[in-house]
Structure formats: C-alpha cells, structure tokens
Structure 1
Amino acid sequence: MSVRPFRFGVNMAIGESRAKWQDKARRAESLGYDVLMVPDHLGFPAPFPMLASAAEATTTARLGTYVLNSGFYRPALLAREVATIDLLTDGRFELGLGAGYVEEEFKAAELPFVSGGERLKQLKHTVAEVRRMLTGDHQPPAVQRPAPPIMVAGVGPRMLRFAAEQAEIVGIAGALPLDETDTGHAALAKTMDLVRTAAASRETAPELNLLVQGVFPDPSKAELSFQRTLAPELSDERILKLPGMLIGSPATIADKLREYRETYGLTYFSVIEFHMDVFAEVIELLR
C-alpha cells in the first residue's frame, strides 16, 4: 500500500493591512507550507476575502478554511462562496467545516446556539447540500471537479465518525487525556481507531490531519496562554505532553511526525501562525 506524502498547513488569522497580509502569505509559501488557511471566528477578518487576497500573492499553495462555522451559513449561499473562491484561487481552494462551538459568537450573530447534536445535524446537511450543488450544474461552477475537497474537523466521536465517512480530509482538532494517567496519546489512539473503522468501507481513504497547537524547541520557554484556553483544566506540564504539542529539536519533531504517520496514518499537519517559522525547519527534514 502506498504511503501518502506529508502535507503542511498554517492557520493564519492576523491581517494588519493588505500589504502585510500578502507578505505573510508569500512567506508561508516560501517556507514550504502546502496550504494557507484562515479561521472563522467573529473578531477576526472574514475568511473568503482574506483567502482571495492570499491567492493574489501566491502561486502554488492551496488555500483553505480551518474551519468555517457551518451554523453561520446556508448551503446555497455557501456553495456560491465556495465556487467563487475556487475561481479566484485558480482551483486551489479546500473547504474546511466544523459545527461551531463558541456560544458567544452565535449570540453575537443573532443565531440560536442549539445542542451539539443539532449543530452536527446542521453540519451534515451543509456538507451534503454543498457537495450536491457543486457536483451538479451549479452556477457559477467551481474550477475543481467534481468539487473542491472538504475537510470536516472536530474532537468529538460523532463528529469524527461523520468526517471519516464523508469528508475527503478528517481534521483532528485535539486529543485531551482520557484520565489522570493519560497524556492524551491514549485518547489519540482511540480517536484514530474510531476514524479508521468509520472509513473502512470507503473506496478512497480520507487524508488525516492533526492540528498542532504548539511547537517548542525548549519547553522551559514555552508560552502557553493560547493552549490554556483549549485545556484550562490541565497543568502546563500536562499541556506540554499532549499529542498536538511538538517539543524538541527539528529532528526530534520530524521523527515524531514520522511515527504519527506510521502508527496512525496522520500525514497532514497544521500549525498556527505563531509557530510558522520554527515549524518550517521541520518541514525541510520531511520533504
């Protein structure tokens, strides 16, 4: 069985000006990142205009969302956005979707914050309808045929089971410890077993992505304010041991990612922009 090659993405959210944003996009591409992504949170720039601007400054990198809050969009309107951005990126767009999880953002958007089950139901409907429209006689048509690839990302078992069954890319957004004895790696193994089982009947296996929350050559100098928001109940020591935290030299981290590929089939790794430069040293070792 052939081994899927590595891919690397960077999730970029800060756009101070058009010039600085495009400079950052060019830099990310020059550092070897395969996919330039933007998040979808109120308080940050709107995803689609940012991606269109990044496309103007780059030539080969793909452009994607990590990830759109499906609760913010109606399928027909989202299909129009996807087809248009696929045109403006010359067929380089990848659609990343999630169910949304920040209650305050739903309230600010004057949308109901329904249960997790209902949000997942909305996401399933969005994926099905957007794919149906884009693979049909949609106007405007997308450049990529049959349609731009879809990533579904999350952490819960129901979300990841759906992603494994339906998406071209499964995004594992994190793995928190199962209990006091777990560093999160047992949780990751359990998640990957679930994904593998759910995708077993598919003709083409999905690509597997892991969100890297931190890259620290020296853990004693790690600044963890962002990571604490994701796992507020964990100590700094336990945060640094999570699967999404990469610690050590570029060679050590490269070996860890090779291990993740061999053990779990993870081949696509996304970092947040604060770690873009240091992680680029790892990319060089994995090409």
Structure 2
Amino acid sequence: MSALSDSQKIDEKGRTTRPFRFGVGILKPGSRSDFQSTARRAEELGYDILQMPDHLGMPAPFPALVSAAEVTSIRLGTFVLNTSFYRPALLARDIADTDQLTDGRLELGLGTGYQQAEFDAAEMPFPSGRKRIDHLEHTIRELRRLFASADHVPAVRQKPIPPLLIAANGDRMLRLAAREADIVGFPLTAGIKPGTEPEKALAERVEFLRDAAGERADDLELNLFIATVTVAPDKPDLSLLQKVLPSFSDEQILQLPSVLVGSEQQIAEKLQHYRETYGISYFATVDDSMEAFAKVIPHVR
C-alpha cells in the first residue's frame, strides 16, 4: 500500500480520506480559440482536470487534450475512451505521444463502449458485453506490456503507465477495476435497479468494489460522474436527462446521486457526505454545468 500524502487522512472506519478533485468534460466541438478559451476557463474556476469523452460527434480526445495542454497547467484525461474502437498497439502510440506532448499530465480513462449506434456509424461490429470486456482486459494487459518494454517507441512520460481510470458498474467490470485501476469511475445510474433507492444502489456498488479490491481498496481513488448541477435559486433543467433516462420520472432523476440541486452549501455538504460515507472524492461534470459546479468548489477546499 502506498504511503499517504500530507493531504490524506484516515477516517473513523480506517479508510483513506483523499482530498477532493474536480473534473470537467468538454462535449461541444468548436474552433481552436473557443476550445482553448473553455480550457483556460476551467482552470481559472478551480478544476483539477479537463476531460474529453470519446463519442462520435464530439471532439477527438487526444488532439483536444494536446490543444488544451498548450494553454493550461492542470491535468488532462480521457473520460472515457471507447476501448472497443482501438487496437492496443495503435492506442499505445496515441497514449504515449499524448503523455509526452502534455508534459506527463495525462490520465487514461478506459471503458468498453456501449452505444450500438456509434459502432454502426463507424462500420464496426457491436460485440456482446462479455466480448467488449474481454477486449478491455486484453488492451490493459497489452498496454502494460508495451510500455514496460525499453524498445517501445514512443515511450510514456509517466512510468510505468499514466494513471488508469476504469469506468465500471457491473460485477465483472468492478472486479477488473479493483485489480487494475488507480481510479474507479461510477456512472450516472450506478447500481440502479427497480425497488432500490439510488444512493443505496451506489453504496452497494462501492462496497462490492472495496470487497473485490481487498488490500488495494484504500489505494483506489473513487470518482462519481455528475450529470448536472443546479445552484439555487436556479431551477433544474432535466430535459437532457429525460431523454437519456426516458423511464425515469423527474422525481426519480432528482434522487440520483449524480444530480446535484440546492444551495452552494447544500451541494457542498452532499459532496462531503459522499466522501465521508463512501470514500468518493473525485467528481466530474460536463461543460454545461461547469460554471455552476465551480461555485461549490471553494466550499470544500
């Protein structure tokens, strides 16, 4: 187990209490100047990491991160790559070049991919969930092997591999994350199932991960994706989430841990609760909520 940093503490349950971290993902393509202006704004607002998703119709993640590196000093991450789109050797080249060109600020977020429409648009077969996880496992093994070789060119700047985030929800993905990840990301509907309160569902997933991780549990940084943030007196706009979660009522959406609504202090207290109760200290939102979430950050630092 790694030594604790000066900013880490042990809570009453004997768990590591990590400092808060905040990330923001940029979803909207735009001009170079517009994109870099948004990246600079994220740093000015106090975000620790700027993140790029990996979806068709959104900016290509690796070039965007290199562009952001030109005008920021914060960390930069993929959140998360659709690993099913990549062959390991080609992905290793992109990772290593990006890690070098961002001066070792890259954090590597990996997922399996889940939207069949994107596979169809890319003229690629849509494998089963089992096969997509198989490919993710294979990719992680190959990345570690390639980066461990002195003959691999280009080399990563961060040895042996940039910090690895795995987005996980199901049992097999959580076991994989427990073995391989430095950071584990919980999605919008982590553990949600009929008859279970959303926060209890998230708590069950966290506990499953910790059990699977065993002695590694305290070394894992836990991340929660924040879908939307509304600071009072503004009223929440749930229109996008209503499209993503058509079977959920507005009341059910508002109960999701990933939906933050209230005063700055109320939201800050909720974040404190998530960290103290579940060990979740890293929160990532998207550009639509960037300004609103930034109002909360000073309340927990």
In 1, the alpha carbon distance for the partners of 2:233 and 2:125 equals 41
- 2:173 aligned to which of 146, 159, 167: 159
Deviation at 1:272, TM superposition (A): 1.1
- In 1: Cα distance, 2:280 partner to 2:290 partner: 19
Deviation per residue, 1:116-145 (Å, 9 max, x gap): 111111111111111221233221111111
> Matched residues, percent identical?
51
Q: Determine if contact 1:176/1:242 at 8 Å carries over to the other structure.
A: no
The residue number in structure 2 matching 1:77 is 90
Secondary structure at the aligned position of 2:260 is classed as strand
2:191–2:205 CA contact under 8 A, matched in 1:
no
Report runs of 4+ in structure 1 exceeding 4 Å deviation: none
Amino acid in the other structure paired with 1:93: L
What is the 5 A alignment of 1:22-171? 22-59=36-73, 61-137=74-150, 138-171=152-185
The answer to whether residue 237 in structure 2 is matched with residue 231 in structure 1 is: no
Q: Report the equivalent of 2:229.
A: 215
> Quick one: distance in 1 between partners of 2:184 and 2:99?
20
Q: What is aligned with 2:260? A: 246
- CA–CA separation in structure 1 for the residues paired with 2:217 and 2:30: 44
Task: Determine the structure 2 residue equivalent to 1:178.
Answer: 193
Q: Secondary structure at the match of 1:234?
A: coil
The alignment partner of 1:192 has SS state of helix
Aligned mate of 1:10, from 19, 24, 33 = 24
Deviation at 1:3, TM superposition (A): 2.0
Q: Distance in 2 between matches of 1:77 and 1:14?
A: 26
Which ranges of structure 1 fall in alignment gaps of 5 or more residues?
A: none
**What is the alpha-carbon distance in structure 2 between the residues aligned to residue 264 and residue 202 of structure 1?**
16
**Aligned letter for 2:114?**
Y
Q: Contact 1:10–1:272 (CA<8 Å) still a contact in 2? A: yes
Name the CA distance, whole Å, in 2 between partners of 1:97 and 1:201. 23
Confirm or deny that 1:280 pairs with 2:294: yes
Matched residue of 2:42: which SS? helix
CA distance in 2, matches of 1:259, 1:240: 17
What TM-score, normalized to structure 2?
Answer: 0.91
RMSD over equivalenced CA pairs, Å:
1.5
Cα distance in 1 for partners of 2:32, 2:276 equals 40
Distance 1:75 1:176 in 2: 29
Q: Answer whether contact 1:207 1:268 (CA < 8 A) is retained.
A: yes
Q: CA offsets, 1:180-210, max 9 Å, x none?
A: 4x33111101101111111113286211100
Query: In structure 1, what is the Cα distance between the partners aligned to 2:230 and 2:52?
Result: 22
**Secondary structure, counterpart of 1:210 in structure 2:** strand
User: Structure 2: which 5+ runs fail to align?
Assistant: 1-9, 11-15
1:56-85 deviation line (CA, Å, top 9, x unaligned): 0112x1000110000100001101100000
User: C-alpha separation between the residues in 1 aligned to 2:284 and 2:23?
Assistant: 4
1:191 and 1:211, CA in 2 relative to 1: closer, same or farther beyond 3 A?
A: same
CA distance in 2, matches of 1:86, 1:168: 17
The CA deviation at 1:178 is 2.6
Change in Cα spacing, 1:201 to 1:120, as seen in structure 2 (3 Å) is same
1:256 is matched with which residue?
A: 270
CA contact (8 A) 2:225 2:283 kept: yes
1:58-117 CA distance string (max 9 Å, x none): 12x100011000010000110110000001100000110100000011111121101111
Contact 1:12/1:38, CA 8 A, preserved across alignment: yes
Distance (whole Å) between structure 1 residues aligned to residue 126 and residue 204 of structure 2: 29
Alpha-carbon distance, 1:176 to partner: 5.4
SS at match of 1:95: strand
CA distance in 1, matches of 2:234, 2:44: 30
- 1:177 Cα deviation (Å)? 3.5
Corresponding residue pairs, total: 285
